Amino acid sequence: MKVDLLVAEIGSTTTVVNAFNGIDTDFPVFIGQGQSPTSVKEGDVTIGLHAAVDHLQKNMNWDSIEYGKLLATSSAAGGLKMTVHGLVYDMTAKAAKEAALGAGANIHLVTAGRLRPSDMKKIEKIRPNIIMIAGGVDYGERDTALYNAEKIVELDFDVPVLYAGNVDNQDDIRAIFEDAGKAEWLFVVDNVYPKIDLLNVEPSRRVLQDIFEEHIVHAPGMEHIREMVTGTIIPTPGAVMEASKLLKEDLGDLMTVDVGGATTDIHSVTEGSEEVARVLISPEPVAKRTVEGDLGVYVNMRNIVEMIGRDKLTSDLKLPDEVVHELIENHVAIPTEQLQIDFVERLTKEAIITSANRHAGGFRVMYGGGGKKSYAEGKDLTSIKYIVGTGGACTRLPNRVSLLKEITKNVLGDKLLPNEDVEILIDNDYIMASLGVLSIEHKESALKLLKKSLGLIEL
C-alpha cells in the first residue's frame, strides 16, 4: 500500500504512527494508526518506530506499506530539556520562559540575575538540550547577560545556546562564543522583552524548534532517527501549540487541554478582552502554554488523590472505602471496567479544574496613594470561544465533554476563566499533535484534517 505521508509521535513510553493520504488536495484523509513501545532504552528509537509502522500495516490488513514522507514529534529522551536565564524574574526571565514553553520545552531551571556557582552545578547536572539567555530591554542593562554568557561558555559539554536578550549585546555575545571556539553552538534572535511591557516570543519559539530538530539526533536513543524521518521533527507539546495557533486563525480564541498520564498541558491562544487589557499589570503572550508536572492521571495519580482527599473522593464516587482503596492500589493506565473509568474521570476532572485555574490570570487589589484599585495579572481567558480536548483522557473518556465544561463552572471569583457559553470540541481522531507538525509543511491539509477530527467539517 502506498501512503502519502506518515507522522510519528515518539513519546517517552509509546510511539504512535498516523497515516495520511490526499495531502495538498481538497480531500486529505486520515487513514489509520499504529503503535508500539518506544525503544529509547534499546539505544535506538527507530526500533519502536519500525514496530509502530508494522502495527499500522497489520491494523489496515496491508501486505506492505510504502510512504512518501515521514514527519515526527518527540518527547522521548526527556523531550526538549531547557534551562532559562534572564535578568529580572517577572520580566525577561518570564518572557524567556514563555517562549521556551510555547516551543514545547520541558524547563528544568529558571534563574534571574547573575549565575551563581550553585546554578552552574544545577546546569551541569541537568545537561539540557538547549540553554536560553535573555536579559535587558533593548539598549538597557547589558552586564548580566554578558556575564552569564561567559559562565555558560565555560561548561565542559557542548550545548546549543539561544541568546534572546538586549540587541546591544549581540556582537559581544558572538565574540564570547567565537573566542571559546563555540561559535557553531550559538543562535541569536530578537529580544524576547525588547521594551517594558512588550513580549516578543515568537522569533525565539521558531528558532528553538529549529535547534531541537537539528540537535535531537544527538540525544540518547535518537541517533538513528534521521534514517527514517525525512521531514520536520519538533517537540510534541510544540506541535500541539502549532495546531492550536492554526485553529485560532480559523475559529477564533481557544484553549487546548491535554490531560496525560504524567502531566496536564494547557495551551491558550487569545489576546484577551480589551477591558482586562486596560488594567493588566504585565504583558502575556498571545499563545501561552503551561504544563503541570504534578497533575497526571496515571504516573501522578496519587498527587491528585491527595488534592481531592480520600474522604471526598470516596463520597464523590459513592463507593465503599475499601473499593476506592482497591482502585488506587491497582490503578491501570487505560481503564476498561466501569469503576476504573469512573475513578479516572474523577481524577481528570480535578486535573482539568486545577490546571485551568493555574493557567488563568485573575484580578487583584492594590493599595496606593489614590486608595484601593483592582488590577489584572496573568493570562486572560475570558474571550475564549472554544475549549479543545486532546490526549487520551480528553478524547476517550465517556464524559469528556462535560469534564471539559467544568472549567467554566468552577470559576473562582477573581479568576479570568472562559464563560459558560464556550463550545467544547474533541480531537476525536487523537491526531492534534501530528497535525501540528504537519501544518509546518502542509498548512491547508492540516487545518482540514483538524476540523474533521473536531467534527466541524466532513471530508
Chain centre to alpha carbon of residue 293:
12
Give the pLDDT mean for 321-350.
Answer: 95
pLDDT for 72 beyond 80: yes
Average pLDDT over residues 48-62: 94
Residue 262 has pLDDT above 90, yes or no: no
Average pLDDT, the chain: 93
pLDDT for 213: 86
Name the DSSP class of 225: G
Query: What gap in Å lies between CA 296 and CA 305, rounded to an integer?
Result: 11
Would you state the cell numbers that stand for residue 436, as one nine-digit string? 501540528
Q: Which of 343, 209, 303, 296 is nearest to 13 (CA)?
A: 296
| Structure confidence at residue 205 (pLDDT) | 93
Q: How many CB atoms lie within 10 A of CB 107?
A: 17
Q: Which whole number is the average pLDDT over 247-251?
A: 97
In this prediction, residue 226 carries a pLDDT of 87
Confidence of residue 118 (pLDDT cuts 50, 70, 90): very high
Of 418, 389, 390, residue with least CA distance to 402: 389
Residue 122 to residue 321: CA distance in whole angstroms: 43
What pLDDT is stored for residue 41 in this prediction?
A: 76
Q: What is the pLDDT of residue 158?
A: 92
Cell, residue 253 = 480564541
In degrees to the nearest 10, what's the CA dihedral of 284, 289, 293, 295? 100
Residue 157 to residue 151: CA distance in whole angstroms: 13
Give which of 361, 374, 378, 363 is closest to 284, Cα–Cα.
Answer: 378
Q: Answer with the residue of higher pLDDT: 58 or 459.
A: 58
Cell numbers given for 305: 488523590
Residue 443 grid coordinates: 498548512
DSSP 198: B
pLDDT digits (tens, 9 = 90+) for 4-24: 999 999 987 789 999 999 999
Report the pLDDT averaged over residues 311-340.
95
The mean per-residue pLDDT over the stretch 45-62 comes to 94
- pLDDT above 80: residue 371: no
- DSSP for 352-403 reads HHHHHHHHB-EEEEEEETTEEEEEEESB--TT--EEEEEHHHHHHSTTHHHH
Percentage of the chain exceeding pLDDT 70 = 98
Flag whether pLDDT at 390 surpasses 90: yes
pLDDT at 388: 98
Overall pTM > 0.85: yes
CB distance 101 to 261 below 8 Å: no
Q: Is the pLDDT of residue 137 over 80?
A: yes
Question: By the 8 A CB rule, do 28 and 439 touch?
Answer: no
Range of 76-90, 159-173, 200-214 with top mean pLDDT: 159-173
Task: Read off the C-alpha cell for 428.
Answer: 476525536
Contact 254, 384 (CB under 8 A): yes
User: Helices (H) and strands (E) in the chain — how many of each?
Assistant: 16, 17
Residues 165, 95: contact at Cβ < 8 Å? no
Q: Judging by DSSP bridges, how do beta strands 371-377 and 362-368 pair with one another?
A: antiparallel
Q: Confidence class of residue 180 from pLDDT cuts 50, 70 and 90?
A: very high
Of 334, 261, 358, 267, whose CA–CA distance to 303 is shortest? Answer: 261
What does the pLDDT read at residue 412? 59
Cβ(87)–Cβ(93) below 8 Å = yes
Task: Say how far apart CA 169 and CA 321 lie, in whole Å.
Answer: 62
pLDDT at 90 over 90: no
C-alpha cell recorded at residue 163: 541568546
